[in-house]
Structure 1
Amino acid sequence: MEKREFRKNAADMIYLTACVINNKKPRQERIDNLDLPKLFEVCQKHILTACVAYALESVGIKDNDFTQAKEKAIRKNILLDAERGNILRKLEAEKIWYMPLKGSLLHDWYPKLGMRQMADNDILVDSEKMTKVRDIFLESRYICEHFGQGNHDVYFKEPVLNFEMHSSLFSSAHIGNLYGYFNNVKARLIKDKTNDYGYHFSDEDFYLFMLAHEYKHFTGGGTGVRSLVDTYIFLCKFKSSLDWGYLNAELDKLGIADFERSNRELAIKVFTLKQLTLEDKRLLDYYVMSETYGNIDNVVRNGVKYRGKGSKIRYLIYRFFPPISFLEGSVPWVKKSKLLIPVAYIYRFFRGATVNRKKVGSEFKQLGNQ
């Protein structure tokens, strides 16, 4: 799809999403000009298909693709919720502390079941019990897709059960102060009253983590429109009760105060259908063209901006010789001894030249186009 068409259908997606999350009926003149196949394609890119399906149904449109996507989202959410309950009970039995993360809670705050589509379940657990957590999943007939790489392990079971079990919320390789701020996060968690080993954030700390998570993606490959929907949904539910004095102080510590303000203001304007300024439109376009999981163009542009401090040469040096904190995340065995550091750099080089050749080639191509 051409970029012009993509943007036009993204505008329709945003309008329909704004209507349905605010319980408003879309205007007929907007409905008459929809291109449903292209709208569906854009919604899939932003994981807002179920949301838009509800909006279409509110005006009597039951398109097969949208309806199937919505029903699939409902089924998957129900399955993930049920299985999360099973996993949490097993963590309780093994006396492992845990905290379900963002999406597991956010989807309940959307107006209707399945409206927030879920790809997986993210759970923070005791970092000293990751091997026992793996045993729990293997005994439950999951496949372990990643273990001991970065700050989370990945498990999958057919047909749709995906779990990411986090030993920490961020890694030391992430931009800014995210890792440092959330490194000892358990100290700020609140004990659940209904179980023995479960924890949760305060509303303010939930918002801080949600923003930090989006900032991580925003300054990497980019993040899509659904992150703005999440912000809007959260603010509708909690804005009036939040301690903004605490939040402003903590946002300064995190170094994301400007990001929070622009993200919040844009989300409110977009989903209350307010007039956007030119700067608002530019920022919204970044979300639109990033899609849900970002793109290589953003990775390189943001890499030069944040990692290279505006210099392509500095960025290349960073990519070839990343700091030890990054190296430990991408090559975990380097933690065993400092003597392995030179070997790890050589390993990364050959892995990039062989296994990740296409990805590295795309990155260098985009760097040349910057």
Structure 2
Amino acid sequence: MTSNTIDNLFMLCRAHMYSNDKTESENDKYELDFEELKVMIQENSLSAFLYKPVKEFNDKNGIISQEVIADYGRYIQAVMFRELSKNYGIKKLCKEAENRGIRLVFFKGILLADLYPQYAERTSSDSDILVDDKDKEAAEKLLVELGYEKNLEHSKNHVQVYSNNVLDHVVELHTRLWEDYTGPRIDILDKMELSCLQTDIRTMACGIEVNTLGYEKHLVYQLFHIIKHFSLDGIGIRYLIDTTLFVNRYCEDIDFDLFWKHIELLGYTKFVEAFFQICVKELKMTDKVFENHAYMLDHSVDDLKMDLLKVGITKDKDAGWQIMGAMEGYFTGEAKAPKTEIKRKLSMVFPSLDALPKTYIYARRYPILLPFAWVHRAIKFIIRRNGHKEAFYSVSEKIDVGERRIHLMDELGLMRND
């Protein structure tokens, strides 16, 4: 990944985000390495978003063959058609929910897609909807009546997953914004009441009138969601685009003093400062986010920037989920950060009770059984790896990947250090 390709990627993003800014499209016009750029675009789920600026760039500079561009265009047409189909499903769901008096609160998804030059350019795998416990049964019944089938394998206590194969649409029906996670940070989030009748708003998103979270509360939720994925498996630069577009659209409506208070309570300040700094520098996010804020970050943001561009730890393997259980205790604030490299590596093999994945509930209840849980994990790893050798991390890879993740999280202030 060359610095020139990274610069070109951000240049193309800016060119599309700010269509009136055409000056950058002349830069480096004979130096674009499309093969390397294409990999980064795909890994960061930006294919639909960047098709137009890539084509415009190529129309001027002729770097990419017309055959390749035509194939790219046909692929994007199919991708965007799927997004239109999902939008139809959401519209139908909203209309019927209104008729039945079921209050649905949308977050992420169409609220962020609405900020894009064309909403179908933001591809997504599902629609996230929050519903009150008292309306959960009625909402699930409605989904079934509209042709959605429950995915029992992926459903959780507080997230029911439904899919409609005809519309190619997946709905995640939440009764809690933070899914089934528990821990000190989740307790803090719970007290913030990010969604409630008093602060939720009614707005238009992708041509549909919906309920959603208040402005600064939605931004707090977005950062929680970003940090969740960053901690457990890594994120790409599309999250930078989502956040930049949201802040630039609603900066006058966001109470940044309240926002930073919430972020400080969660222990997210250093990470958010670094994340925002990249947004400001690379994507022209307004620097109003830092007004009246005492800056804490005391180091370069290059490590975070490169991690985002590489989409964290899942870039080279299909089994990035292997690391998630090992990282959950650090994300929720239950586990403390090991301070040395050797201790971080040992923690991936012999996790403390607080860092032990919650699936080993017997050891959490009876700490004397912790060594048995370590053996249990090792046996499960060997059994699973035998069936997925190519996609699986080896023991040394898992240790190295986990150690780097813990180190980066600690550097960005996301670890409990008390």
TM-score in terms of structure 1 length: 0.78
Q: Which residue of 1 aligns with 2:327?
A: 303
Q: Which amino acid aligns with 1:190?
A: D
Q: Which residue of 2 aligns with 1:44?
A: 42
1:227 equivalent among 233, 239, 261: 239
Structure 1 CA distance, aligned partners of 2:181 and 2:202? 31
Q: Which residue of 2 aligns with 1:102?
A: 108
Q: Which residue of 2 aligns with 1:163?
A: 171
Structure 2 CA distance, aligned partners of 1:133 and 1:165? 8
Structure 1 CA distance, aligned partners of 2:101 and 2:139? 11
1:173 aligns with 2:181: yes
8 Å CA contact retained: 1:122, 1:165:
yes
Q: Which residue of 2 aligns with 1:153?
A: 160
2:147 equivalent among 137, 141, 144: 141
Q: Which residue of 2 aligns with 1:28?
A: 26
8 Å CA contact retained: 1:203, 1:238:
yes
Structure 2 CA distance, aligned partners of 1:351 and 1:305? 19
Structure 2 CA distance, aligned partners of 1:305 and 1:284? 24
Q: Which amino acid aligns with 2:41?
A: C
Write out per-residue CA displacement over residues 251-301 of structure 1, whole angstroms, 9 at most, x where no aligned residue: 22222122222211111101149xxx9823322101011269677499479
Percent identity of paired positions between Structure 1 and Structure 2? 15
Q: 1:1-370 counterparts in 2 under 5 A?
A: 4=1, 9-23=5-19, 24-25=21-22, 26-59=24-57, 61=59, 63-146=69-152, 148-158=155-165, 160-171=168-179, 173=181, 177-178=185-186, 180-182=188-190, 184-187=193-196, 189-190=199-200, 192=202, 199-272=211-284, 279-290=300-311, 296=320, 299=323, 303=327, 306=330, 307=335, 309-310=337-338, 311-312=343-344, 313-318=346-351, 327=358, 354=383, 358=388, 362=393, 364-369=395-400, 370=403
8 Å CA contact retained: 2:202, 2:211:
yes
Q: Which amino acid aligns with 1:303?
A: M
**Structure 2: segments with no counterpart, 5+ residues:** 60-65, 286-297, 404-418
CA distance 1:119–1:171, shift in 2 (3 Å): closer
Deviates more, 1:23-32 or 1:281-290: 23-32
Write out per-residue CA displacement over residues 314-353 of structure 1, whole angstroms, 9 at most, x where no aligned residue: 454548x6679x63xx69xx8xxx89xx9xx79x857666
Structure 2 CA distance, aligned partners of 1:245 and 1:73? 39
Write out per-residue CA displacement over residues 126-147 of structure 1, whole angstroms, 9 at most, x where no aligned residue: 2344444333333322232236
8 Å CA contact retained: 1:225, 1:291:
no
8 Å CA contact retained: 2:149, 2:163:
yes
Q: CA RMSD in A?
A: 4.1
Q: Which amino acid aligns with 2:337?
A: K
CA distance 1:353–1:126, shift in 2 (3 Å): farther
**Structure 1: segments with no counterpart, 5+ residues:** none
Structure 1 CA distance, aligned partners of 2:305 and 2:124? 23
Structure 1 CA distance, aligned partners of 2:115 and 2:313? 20
Structure 2 CA distance, aligned partners of 1:207 and 1:179? 18
3-state SS in 1 of match to 2:264:
helix
Structure 2 CA distance, aligned partners of 1:280 and 1:77? 34
CA distance 1:158–1:192, shift in 2 (3 Å): same
3-state SS in 1 of match to 2:150:
strand
Structure 2 CA distance, aligned partners of 1:176 and 1:287? 26
3-state SS in 2 of match to 1:362:
coil
3-state SS in 2 of match to 1:177:
helix
Structure 2 CA distance, aligned partners of 1:53 and 1:193? 29
Measured after TM superposition, the shift of residue 74 of structure 1 is 2.7
Write out per-residue CA displacement over residues 215-248 of structure 1, whole angstroms, 9 at most, x where no aligned residue: 1112221111000111111122122442222112
CA distance 1:305–1:322, shift in 2 (3 Å): closer
Measured after TM superposition, the shift of residue 49 of structure 1 is 1.2
CA distance 1:356–1:155, shift in 2 (3 Å): farther
